Structure 1
Amino acid sequence: MFKQHKKLWIWIASVLGVLVIAFAGAGYYFYNVAIVPGQKSFLSKKHALKKSDPLYKQTKWYNDSKKERWYLTSTDDNLKLDANYIPAAHKTNKTVIILHGYMNNKDTMGPYAAMFHELGYNTLLPDARGHGQSQGNYVGYGWREKGDVRKWAKKVIAHNGKNSQIAIFGVSMGGATTMMTSGQKMPSQVKAYIEDCGYTNAKTEIEHEAQTIYHMPGFPRFPLVEILSGYTKLNAGYFLNDADSLKQLKQNHSPMFFIHGSKDNFVPTKMVYANYHASRGPKELWLVPGASHAKSFATHPREYEQKVRQFLDKYMA
């Protein structure tokens, strides 16, 4: 009898050991997929610029424009961060800081820079840590980047003066970064925020991506996401639940404009309602008809510019 029990316990221990190794390996795999910068198979590939592109003129303007290179060193990890600064056509104290999405870079935000330039603003386009020309070996999902945005805002003030007026604008992960930035103490010169298709929480978004992008409806959320979050804490300094737009928005009392495509399947459209209701300051919401993820500007460029202008005119006098 004793031998039988011993064999049973050995078998149970062996199975548990295999499961632990399997889950640890799966967590490490997903860490490399979700957190480590690099090319991702689930993201659409960049294509050559064509005149038929809805934002062709804006992209070409950005490509041809003269840019100043700005640099910053992050306070926490001592990373060298890179940005492009484009002064407005006429001298102004108004600047928009433009934040890109996951695995994109400052140059992919060129059309938005063109739009804000048309509206009379200086524009600053940073590369987030681990993206473009900025240093870093992880993606911060907005949580680690929010302090960098605050430093960029202070750099704008040092460059353009204490009378600066600053708006923060971001798309996708940049939108989430915008919302997370709004919940911390910012310089008084930061007057307004615009977020386009940002998620509510990094952990929730990663769970959604695992189920939809990888076609894993039976995805074992527990314990894989917790293991991934643990790897992220060890290697990138934060748990996935830390990157929470909702929690930060509850501390925001500044004006916020929420934009989201009605056909967004990557960051589900329903997330924008939770984000909107969480914010404590003046706020507006535009659900963009027929727009998929990060395609609101390309889908309705004139209306997009008009609504952004109307919002900023209220708070960037």
Structure 2
Amino acid sequence: MKKSVTLGLSLAAVATGALYVSHRLFNVAFKRVNYVPETSAEKQKYAQQYYDYVDWFRKVPHETWYLHQNDPAKRLVATFIQHPDHLKKTVIISHGYKGNRETMANYAQMFYNLGFNVLLPDDRAHGDSAGQYINFGWLDRLDYMAWINKLIDIKGEDEKILLFGVSMGGATMEMLSGENLPTQVKAIIADCGYSSIKEEMTYLLKEQYHLPEYPFEPMVSTINRRRLGFYLGDVSAKEQLKRNRRPILFIHGGKDTYVPVRMAYENYHATKAPKQLWIVKNATHAESFWYNPAAYQARVASFLKTYF
């Protein structure tokens, strides 16, 4: 009898401990932070270049756009940069995990130099937008649909639209690709997006925390269901890409250890739309642009020739 009681208490302690750890993991991964975390050590060498782009971003003429402007709990904020040549083409840029629209200044300038207007939203729970929890692109995809519609309302039915994102932003655009996009959306570029939230979390549990998938992923998933309304396993960029009909360029660093490069191949094979895959051999996560900005712009420009 004593053994069974002891065993029961031990199992209860283990379950309580696992639940505590899962709540901690959820808060670390999903809870809003009101700052941009320091970049990884291998990207510190690009700091001066990055701040040069930020300086341009802050000085270039721009407008501030809103969704749900009069509702503080739902308000979303974006920067719109009008190209002076008025060529009727706009890129919508989706930022990465715990970033914001300013952290995409380098991509904004690149597309501006290619003749695009630029729309850069802050996702839910990022930057100046409302929200308590990061949703890793799944709910954000609906917000980007609203941004697309707002852009068409303001700029006109003849506006051509490119969707672009990096890391979480790349996955967001891949998830968005499976929706009923308006005809104005002509193409998509996804840089180092993950194939699913569950796969990415399971991978990081092992690589960063040395924890197994079970019981932690199911527990975190259940917490997320209560907070944000969906289980992690319900969300898949690959499944969304199966419904994609837009030409898409996948970019991924060959030395990416944060979002493993195999996910780029999984996403590439998931879609039947016109597609290209560019693996930047020596680039780490989200480093492909920084590794060689001229080559990056040239590859993007080459892809876009057909569609813009």
TM-score by length of 1: 0.90
Offset, 1:243? 2.6
Cα deviations by residue, 1:216-270 (Å, 9 ceiling, x for unpaired):
1xx1211111000000010111111223110100110110000001111111111
Cα deviations by residue, 1:18-40 (Å, 9 ceiling, x for unpaired):
12211111111111011112279
Structure 2 unaligned segments of length 5 or more: list them: none
Which one has a bigger Cα radius of gyration?
1
Figure out how many residues of one structure are paired with residues of the other and give that number. Answer: 304
Say if 1:50 and 1:56, in contact at 8 Å, map to a contact too.
no
Offset, 1:51? 9.1
Q: Secondary structure at the match of 1:143?
A: coil
Aligned-partner Cα distance in 1 for 2:246–2:178: 9
Offset, 1:54? 4.3
- The reply on whether 1:238 has 2:233 as its aligned counterpart is no
Say if 2:36 and 2:99, in contact at 8 Å, map to a contact too.
no
Aligned to 2:84: 89
Aligned counterpart in structure 2 of residue 44 of structure 1, from 20, 34, 39: 39
Say if 1:58 and 1:110, in contact at 8 Å, map to a contact too.
yes
Offset, 1:43? 5.7
Say if 2:34 and 2:126, in contact at 8 Å, map to a contact too.
no
Aligned-partner Cα distance in 1 for 2:261–2:125: 27
Say if 2:238 and 2:267, in contact at 8 Å, map to a contact too.
yes
Distance 1:41 1:73, change over 3 A: closer
Q: Secondary structure at the match of 1:169?
A: strand
Say if 1:183 and 1:252, in contact at 8 Å, map to a contact too.
yes
Aligned-partner Cα distance in 1 for 2:207–2:34: 19
Aligned-partner Cα distance in 2 for 1:156–1:189: 10
- The reply on whether 1:208 has 2:200 as its aligned counterpart is no
Q: Secondary structure at the match of 1:134?
A: coil
Q: Secondary structure at the match of 1:314?
A: coil
Aligned to 2:63: 68
Say if 1:58 and 1:115, in contact at 8 Å, map to a contact too.
no
Aligned to 1:162: 157
Say if 1:141 and 1:243, in contact at 8 Å, map to a contact too.
no
Distance 1:298 1:85, change over 3 A: same
- The reply on whether 1:295 has 2:287 as its aligned counterpart is yes
Q: Secondary structure at the match of 2:2?
A: helix
Matched-pair identity in %: 38
Letter in 2 for 1:234: R
